[in-house]
């Protein structure tokens, strides 16, 4: 019984270590996102519905709706590029960012507060 317990604990620790080496995304404020977009080459991903995207979005964003097919949609993207992911309020973008990190993406940012936070700072949107 002790050997089984020790094996399970070892596997759990190894699993945690493996997960931590994959990296993680970073939540950033609207101000930080604005500076990032001004000063870096960043791929902007809007994970909201197509209707929400068409109503308004951040300039140069691509619309990849967070859906069960999201993993398949990001498969063709460069895993070494830098990505800013956003939604309406930041909840879905965190989920999308986590999926991206788990799929091997290295530089992923999630816009905390989503496009609502972006607009509250009067940053530009495409309508």
CA angle, 36 then 40 then 46, to 5°: 60
Alpha carbon distance, N-terminus to C-terminus of the chain = 63
- Among residues 84, 85, 87, 96, which one is catalytic? 87
* Residue found under tokens 């509250």: 120
Whether 16 is catalytic is: no
HSE at residue 70, side-chain half, CA atoms within 13 A, is 23
Catalytic residues: 87
């Amino acid at each position: 019984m002790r050997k089984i317990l020790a094996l399970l604990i070892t596997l759990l620790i190894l699993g945690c270590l493996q997960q931590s080496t994959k990296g993680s995304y970073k939540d950033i404020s609207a101000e930080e996102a604005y500076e990032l977009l001004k000063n870096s080459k960043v791929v902007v991903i809007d994970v909201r519905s197509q209707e929400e995207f068409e109503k308004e979005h951040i300039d140069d964003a691509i619309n990849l709706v967070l859906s069960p097919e999201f993993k398949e949609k990001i498969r063709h993207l460069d895993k070494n590029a830098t990505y800013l992911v956003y939604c309406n309020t930041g909840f879905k973008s965190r989920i999308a960012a986590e999926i991206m990190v788990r799929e091997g993406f290295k530089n992923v940012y999630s816009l905390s507060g989503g496009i609502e936070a972006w607009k509250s700072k009067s940053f530009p949107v495409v309508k």
